[in-house]
Structure 1
């Protein structure tokens, strides 16, 4: 198998950099969540830094045993941070959502769909039909409708396809 370009040579480095970069959702690197300690980069071995160059074997063993003891706490804190991050993202996504709620007995209009629209009306066709009565609340945001004559409309309808009818 031949590879075009240098992506095959660069892939391990890119993969390693992704595993050693802290993520916004957890605040830690995936490597540290799995192994309990930060990874030593190959460049730190070639050009010693303060973190790597000043360690002795005894100090390193003490640090590793401390990291091994606190890895469960690190993972628990990451779980909590992921939950708060997901809640923040959900709040941002749901900021523009307007939930329509109706009560039994309310009069509503139902959105017309392409298969129920009059094909001869053209662009001036009605976009809402009705009015209908809310007969029952079936679930969260779902309603059973009936016509003004008392005939039940087949299946339940989502509140997204309904709007309040003002007399």
Structure 2
């Protein structure tokens, strides 16, 4: 199957030609009806053009990633906290192993005691003890 991001199959990018399925080998098709010499010549030509196909596929993939990035960034909602605001922290950040689906996803509340310019925060728990390290906000 061709990849959506570049329009090529991984096989064709690797070997310079499309794969021949087993049904196609036994059935009379344009590829199987050509002579042995013609098939080898086509394979050699495709192999010579493979680098160009890879470069074109890489260009299409970059364009596709830019398009996906624009789509994602148009829908991202930035969240900024101010000093003194109370917030919850996601459990995934502080727990090393999965606790199962019934485990709470959020913990806190924590008070923001310092807010950086690019979404970095220092937190303190409800009794005023500072939480180690700097935390970043994320939007989902």
Q: Please classify the TM superposition score into its range, dividing by the shorter chain length.
A: 0.5 to 0.7
Structure with larger RCO (C-alpha < 8 A, sep 6+): 2
Name the structure 1 match of 2:6: 26
RMSD: 3.6
> 1 CA distance for matches of 2:58 and 2:107?
48
> 2 CA distance for matches of 1:52 and 1:67?
16
Q: What residue ranges of structure 1 are gaps of 5+ in the alignment?
A: 1-20, 118-127, 146-152, 162-167
Number of residue-to-residue matches in the alignment: 119
Q: Calculate the TM-score normalised by the size of structure 1.
A: 0.52
Q: Is residue 47 of structure 2 the alignment partner of residue 68 of structure 1?
A: yes
Deviations 1:93-145 (A, max 9, x none): 3332112458xxx766232567655xxxxxxxxxx968x775xx3x6321468
Q: Is residue 136 of structure 2 the alignment partner of residue 158 of structure 1?
A: yes
CA 1:87–1:108 in structure 2 vs 1: closer, same or farther (change >3 Å)? farther
Q: Is residue 87 of structure 2 the alignment partner of residue 111 of structure 1?
A: yes
Q: Calculate the TM-score normalised by the size of structure 2.
A: 0.60
Rg (Cα) greater in structure: 1
Q: What residue ranges of structure 2 are gaps of 5+ in the alignment?
A: 90-105, 124-129
